Amino acid sequence: MFSRLPPELKSMIWSFAIDTPQLVQFACQSRSDPAQWYFRAKHAVPAVLHVCRDSRAQALKSYTLLLETTLLYPLYFNYKADYILLEGQSSMRLFEALSGQAHVEKELDGVENVVFMVTGLNDNTCEEEELIQVGRVFGGAKRIVLLEQIATWWGDHKEIWSDEHMRRIFTTIRRAKSESNPRIAEPPPEVRIIKLRELDMFLSGIEDKV
């Protein structure tokens, strides 16, 4: 029955599937020797890539292989829709190390949506440090979510930080990065702080807006 649909309607269906965000989870895998630490990406290959030739052709206009030279298996990533989830400081440190490579830095600066799992946020100073850390690695981020494992405090950035405060945090970082990467976003990113148990609800809310 689907094969009988008009091409325009098929294209709309593929577009909806492509724009539905996926959460790509990066977890640090530790060994006794810290020099041998590495990370794994937990994700599912988007179904639209292997439904048929037409769906794949349309999907490849939006999906890009991310960290192709670093990961063992291909990771197809939609820079505008998908979210990267980092599990704690160990994963962030590995990404910081990777961002020192020019070609990887440009890839990471293109990521627009970042979720950073943290523990024990309790004041604005602590949050600011986390945001600066994310901003240095993902210079083009438009949406940043701090995901509290142990929720001691949370809120919405509009209630906590003024736009000027956010701009002050990111201006210096982005001024340095924009000289080497024109994709860096100018406005400061939207920032949310949510509890771990609210993550599924948060992502469902994003899907409803697609």
The C-alpha atoms of residue 67 and residue 73 are separated, in whole angstroms, by: 10
Indicate whether 6 belongs to any domain: no
Beta bridge partners of 193: 146, 155
- 181 part of a folded domain: yes
Q: Which two tokens stand for residue 165?
A: 């405060």
CA angle 157, 87, 146 (to 5 degrees): 5
The answer to whether 23 and 203 are in contact (CB under 8 A) is: yes
Number of domains present in the structure of the chain: 1
Residues 6+ apart with CB under 8 A from 40: 26, 27, 29
Q: Is residue 12 included in any domain, yes or no? A: no
| Inside any domain, residue 158 | yes
Look up the pTM and report it.
0.79
Cα–Cα distance between 62 and 80 in angstroms, integer? 8
Distance CA 27, CA 200 (A): 18
CB 107 within 8 A of CB 99: no
Question: Is residue 9 domain-resident?
Answer: no
Q: What is the pLDDT along the chain (210 residues), one digit of tens a residue?
A: 667 777 778 788 888 888 888 999 887 666 555 455 566 788 888 888 888 888 898 999 999 999 988 887 889 999 999 999 988 777 888 888 888 888 888 899 899 999 988 765 555 556 677 778 888 889 888 888 887 765 454 444 444 555 666 677 777 777 666 666 655 656 778 888 787 778 878 777 765 555
Q: Does residue 56 lie within any of the structural domains?
A: no
Is position 203 within any domain?
yes
Q: Does residue 186 lie in a domain region?
A: yes
Q: Which domain, by its residues, includes 29?
A: 21-44+66-209
